[in-house]
Amino acid sequence: MSDRYVRPGERPAGNGQSANRVADRQLEASSPVQAEQEVASTGLCGLWKRPQRMHQIDPNHTLAPIDPNTHQVVSNDFVASEHQTRTKLRDIKHALDKKTEECDEIREHLQAVVGELNDLKSSKQNFVVDDAEMTAKWKGLQYSIKNLSRAYLYNLIPLNQLTRDQVKLLESVSPLCQQILSTEGQVHLLFQSLIWTLIALDILQRPTTVWRENLSTAVRTVLEVKWNSMEDRHAWRAQTGQIIQGAEGVYDGQKAYLKRGLRNIISQFIPREQLSNDTRELIFRRSTREIIDKAIELAVIFNQSRCEYSVEMVAHGERFESVLMEYSEECEAPRVDLMVSPALIKCGNSQGEHYDRWLVLAKSHVHSFNQTPQEGKSEDESLIYL
């Protein structure tokens, strides 16, 4: 009789000899001990196993969302809210990482600045400018202002053609502005004085103004506090000036503002026909730009040098001092009628010493007027109209 395998769920046929042979073959695959244990524990019928049913998913069944943190069923709104929250957290983390990188860059920059400051302190490096070079730069600025005034501001101007604000501005330069404006060959002197006054107040007497406003204000505030000595004050000022100038430089926005301001103030006194020509207007703009550039160049030196540079103005009626002043022509007047240009004075030296000593690098040019409007003539008769 041939052997055959028993189908699942079918009882062995005959006397069970075929079934026994199947069991024997299966037991031969294992060790005698394992086979004996398996037969003893499960019996022969345990060797036949019913095949497992495969579960099918109902396509109409809806899966409920489960919170992975609490393992509880949650609503779809909760899932959407969690998604928005995770998106916001991801955006916040990205922004935080970006700000952290910026802070790291600022910290590195600050550490580099502090290191440079310590190097300057340890190496005793000083910003040195030769006195002759400073005098030459001052003379160059003086020459540019004189050329602009003589080229565009030489005509006689009657006061009744000026606005109240214009008269007030000129009177702040000299109370004799009416006499000056009506005197042939002296009008340009008044406007030289006006330009120098604007340059001194806006730049030379406040040299830190060439930087950004926040830096300029911070440095001036520190310099106004009480210092143990002049040496410490100027050492800090010079070292800080070198660092800021090296890291930031002159602020372009402030430079453009100063040029525009000077041009607007001066152009209101220039006859329109002189600026109607494109070439002359271009020359005028170039002249004002050159004046501001030279003044800023001096201010940059003022900020970085350990010696202190000061601009000495001369007021109307001030007693003439030959040490600080010189007349533009032969004159022996005891008092000054008009300051044409201020004086440049240096205190101390490049090593940060002897601030009780000073040196005049350039004297102030002053003027005394000998000509006055003739008596008996009205104001209109004494003025030559444009």
For residue 198, the enclosing domain spans: 130-382
166, 31: one domain: no
| Structure token pair of residue 51 | 């095949």
What is the enclosing helix (H) or strand (E) of 131? helix 131-152
- The overall average pLDDT reported for the chain is 80
Q: Provide the total of helices (H) and of strands (E) in the chain, helices listed first.
A: 13, 6
CA distances from 12 to 50, 95, 368 (A): 16, 76, 143
Does residue 342 form part of some domain?
yes
Does residue 101 form part of some domain?
no
The number of CA neighbours under 13 Å toward the Cβ of 90 is 6
CA distance 373 to 30: 139
Overall domain count for the chain: 2
pLDDT in tens, 120-144: 555 455 677 888 999 999 999 999 9
The number of CA neighbours under 13 Å toward the Cβ of 44 is 12
| Structure token pair of residue 226 | 């009480």
Does residue 189 form part of some domain?
yes
pLDDT at 371: 41
The two beta strands, 325-327 and 364-367, are: parallel
pTM: 0.64
360, 223: one domain: yes
Handedness of CA 301, 304, 305, 311 (dihedral sign): positive
pLDDT at 6: 47
Does residue 336 form part of some domain?
yes
Answer yes or no: is pLDDT of 82 > 90.
no
Cα angle 318, 320, 326 (rounded to 5 degrees) comes to: 125
Among 87, 213, 133, 178, residue whose Cα is nearest residue 383:
178
Does residue 112 form part of some domain?
no
Answer yes or no: is pLDDT of 175 > 80.
yes
Q: Among 67-71, 193-197, 358-362, whose mean pLDDT is lowest?
A: 67-71
202, 335: one domain: yes
22, 149: one domain: no
CA distance 352 to 344: 19
Does residue 28 form part of some domain?
yes
277, 142: one domain: yes
Q: Among 5-14, 53-62, 214-223, whose mean pLDDT is lowest?
A: 5-14
pLDDT confidence bin for 69, thresholds 50/70/90: confident
CA distance 18 to 4: 7
Residue of higher predicted confidence among 228 and 345: 345
pLDDT at 60: 67
Q: Among 57-61, 100-104, 321-325, 370-374, whose mean pLDDT is lowest?
A: 370-374
CA distance 363 to 326: 6
CA distance 376 to 7: 148
186, 329: one domain: yes
Answer yes or no: is pLDDT of 375 > 50.
no
DSSP track, 202-262: IIITSGGGGS-HHHHHHHHHHHTS--S-HHHHHHHHHHHHHHHHHHT-S-HHHHHHHHHHH
pLDDT confidence bin for 224, thresholds 50/70/90: confident
Answer yes or no: is pLDDT of 107 > 80.
no
218, 319: one domain: yes
Does residue 74 form part of some domain?
no
23, 157: one domain: no
Does residue 72 form part of some domain?
no
